[in-house]
Amino acid sequence: MSSSRTVKYTCPYCGKEFDIEVYDLVHAEKDPDLRDRCISGDIFRHSCPHCKTDFMVQAPLVYVDEPNKFVIWLSTQPVNETLRKLAETLDRQKYRLRRCETVQEFTEKIEILEDGIDDVMVELAKYDCFIEFTDNKKGNPEDITSIEYQRVENGVMKINVRTGDKGMSFLIPVSMMEAEMEENSELYETDNASFPCINRNWIIDLFTESAGEA
């Protein structure tokens, strides 16, 4: 069962107060409309009834997908003791547990895990695209606005490197990524029960630390 609460919110633009509905829990299978609103980001979008300005409100949210066996926790705070106990139970039930710090990461993570793709592999593929993009002088690293997972089709992963309103697609065979991960499998191990945050910073830290040890 999904759950939400109504909270008083002060408009950051006009300073007037009004009620917004904030979701704590979304159950994707039981509420497919809420699942769609998570993918689009609409669930976080609100409009001030006084000055009509639209803005995003990001509150902690637990997203459960039972058929695909994953739980995503949208939160800027790391896991606490209470959640850790629950996480250990879910981990034993083979749920993939992830924490996301931003709405952008959250919506992308749902798509990756619904596709049944290893998100560690996706972050590695995105990192490889970043290196290829900058090494081949296709653009400056500071011009990159985002690197996005698109989909996997016929064993090929599509990643889009965006620079402002332009984008460049990279097609990467999944078998190639699997081979790359196998070469260094220990490096990519994660502690599932800690709701790890598998994102761009995570992979950068991983390579920075392993370079430091070498």
Please tell me the distance from the alpha carbon of residue 50 to that of residue 138, in angstroms, as a whole number: 46
Tell me if 167 sits within 8 A of 159, measured CB to CB.
no
Please tell me the distance from the alpha carbon of residue 28 to that of residue 49, in angstroms, as a whole number: 29
Q: Which of 30, 45, 50, 151 binds Zn ion (CB under 5 A)?
A: 50
Dihedral, CA atoms, 186, 191, 192, 194, nearest 10 degrees?
-160
Establish if 159 lies at the interface with Zn ion (CB under 5 A): no
In the complex with Zn ion, which residue's Cβ is closer, 6 or 82?
A: 6
Establish if 151 lies at the interface with Zn ion (CB under 5 A): no
Give the total of residues touching Zn ion (CB under 5 A). 6
Q: Kindly state the smallest distance separating residue 53's Cβ from Zn ion, in Å.
A: 5
In the complex with Zn ion, which residue's Cβ is closer, 14 or 204?
A: 14
Stretch that binds Zn ion, among 7-15, 30-38, 57-65, 98-106 (CB under 5 A): 7-15
Structure tokens at 97: 């547990």
Contacts with Zn ion, residue ranges (CB under 5 A): 11, 13-14, 48, 50-51
